Amino acid sequence: MPVTGKEILYEDNHLLIFNKQPSQIVQGDKTGDIPLSELLKEFIKERDKKPGNVFLGVVHRLDRPVSGAVIFSKTGKALSRLNNMLKNGEIHKTYWVVVKNRPPEDKGHLVNFLRRDEKKNKSFAYDKPVIDSQKAELTYELLAFSQNYYLLGVNLLTGRHHQIRAQLAKIGCPVKGDLKYGFDRSNPDGSIHLHARKLELIHPVKKENLIIVAPPPLEPLWNYFLSNLQHEKKESFQ
């Protein structure tokens, strides 16, 4: 998928925040597909008519089938500071998630211990610590529902491999389209209904408060929930 300027949610001399689509990969992987980081470098080089190489650091990643806001740094100084902020929990991320089953509670705080299986590229959630596990913590809230699906807002309190996917599957709420974690069928385009909706952080150089909101993909179910929330004015948990 080619990159155009319209997917850029925020940009200055230090940062670029991009609304990733489900088919895009943030960094190179075994598929050999051109990653978003390289596509953006080419876009900036051509747009700004830069003669040399473009610096663009990857601050964090989203899984390929996931959409939403992802941060890149345009300077080494910003990259170093953002990496520290990420490590210290100073970048707050809110996700929208569509699930088939209503969660046990309409608001919840999930604490599990995740063990990553490298061969399967999958994380398993346990109630108690196991060998090589890491503590995983999130909060969620039911935002809206349709005839067949429920929209949750999720705040990550830790950043683990496939954390939202694994923890929601553990309570019987696999993400729509996520075969790996127990949903019964895939989405036609290979996506899953997990979207990085909002980022909140202090700008690493300017020290200004940034709140970045990413529109979900143009797709009937996302469109339904977006219009429903806007109509009901329930976007406090964006």
- pLDDT at site 229: 85
pLDDT of residue 232: 56
Q: How far apart are CA 183 and CA 49, in angstroms?
A: 46
Residue 4 confidence (pLDDT) = 81
Residue 24 near residue 69 (C-beta atoms within 8 A)? no
The pLDDT value given to residue 1: 66
Each residue's pLDDT, cut to its tens digit, for the chain (238 residues) gives: 678 889 999 999 999 999 999 989 987 666 778 899 999 999 999 999 988 889 999 999 899 999 999 999 999 999 999 999 999 999 999 999 999 999 999 999 999 999 999 999 999 999 999 999 999 999 999 999 999 999 999 999 998 999 999 999 999 999 999 999 999 999 999 999 999 999 999 999 999 999 999 999 999 999 999 998 876 555 444 4
Do 101 and 173 meet the contact criterion of CB atoms below 8 Å apart?
A: yes
Quote the pLDDT of residue 236: 47
Structure-token match 């309570």, residue found: 171
- Residues 171, 105: Cα–Cα separation, whole Å: 10
Q: Using DSSP, state whether 48 is helix, strand or coil.
A: coil
Record the pTM. 0.93
Distances in Å between the Cα of 31 and the Cα atoms of 21, 42, 118, 120 are: 17, 20, 16, 16
Closest among 151, 154, 173, 142 to 221, alpha carbons compared: 151
The confidence score (pLDDT) of residue 7 equals 94
Catalogue all structural domains in the chain, each as residue range(s) with its CATH number. Answer: 5-232 (3.30.2350.10)
Report yes or no: 79 and 96 within 8 Å, Cβ to Cβ: no
